[in-house]
Amino acid sequence: TLAPLPGLHGLRVPKVTHPTDIHRIAELAPGLPLYPLLESALAVEHAYALATAHPAVRGIALGEADLRADLGVRDDSALDWARGRVVVAARAAALPPPAQSVHPDIGDLEALAAGCARGRTLGFFGRAAIHPRQLPVIERAYLPTPEEVDAAREVVAAAGSGAGAQALPDGRFVDAAVVAGAHRVLALAARTA
């Protein structure tokens, strides 16, 4: 199946299911960054291979409506395994955390907020939107809460410049990865302040 590639004067790009597809697409649009949407069971199975197939790949994400149809599932939680797979594949390929797929019901902002909260717990960062009214809900869901910012400040302050694993005054154990995560929270909070 072919899909149009916006802004490239009718250039049509095949759906991605295998790493060789990435090379063909890169030849069609040399120099453009690629963000494959994984829309089938086969594409999800090849998630890491697709994420690392070509230097032009800058990120991957799920196309949930098509994947839901391919799998024949109706319950949203049935896609959690595929969501986790895409998050792990992206991070293993040193790509940024993926954005969630769109929430197609523009009138149900409560379900959008719940879906964003679930996506955030699975490791997604942000969400594609199909209507401007969805943007504030998505932003609130993905920005650190005041409590998360306070906790991050506490970790950074307590860890100081010490290297390696350490115990914080309250007994929590932190290592370099936890401190790096705290720095990411603070950097995100600073960008939105």
Same domain, 8 and 94: yes
Distance, CA of 117 to CA of 110 (rounded, Å): 11
Residue bearing the bigger pLDDT, 159 or 41: 41
Same domain, 14 and 59: yes
Same domain, 12 and 68: yes
Distance, CA of 118 to CA of 79 (rounded, Å): 12
* Chain Cα centroid distance, residue 102: 12
Q: Residue 46: which CATH number?
A: 3.20.20.60
Please report the pLDDT score of residue 150 as a whole number: 92
Same domain, 125 and 51: no
Buried b (16+ CB within 10 A) or exposed e, 130-142: eeeebeebbeebb
* 124 burial via Cβ count (<10 Å: 0-12, 13-18, 19+): buried
Same domain, 20 and 92: yes
Residue bearing the bigger pLDDT, 96 or 18: 96
- The model's pLDDT over 154-181, given as tens digits with 9 standing for 90+, comes to 888 877 766 667 777 777 788 888 888 8
Please report the pLDDT score of residue 31 as a whole number: 87
- The model's pLDDT over 50-65, given as tens digits with 9 standing for 90+, comes to 999 999 999 999 999 9
Residue bearing the bigger pLDDT, 16 or 184: 184
Please report the pLDDT score of residue 162 as a whole number: 63
Same domain, 118 and 175: no
Please report the pLDDT score of residue 26 as a whole number: 86
Same domain, 19 and 67: yes
How many distinct structural domains can be found in the chain?
Answer: 3
Same domain, 171 and 184: yes
Task: Determine the structural domain holding residue 24 and report its residue range.
Answer: 2-98
Same domain, 126 and 77: no
Please report the pLDDT score of residue 193 as a whole number: 67
Same domain, 71 and 125: no
Please report the pLDDT score of residue 9 as a whole number: 47
Same domain, 47 and 76: yes
Please report the pLDDT score of residue 164 as a whole number: 66
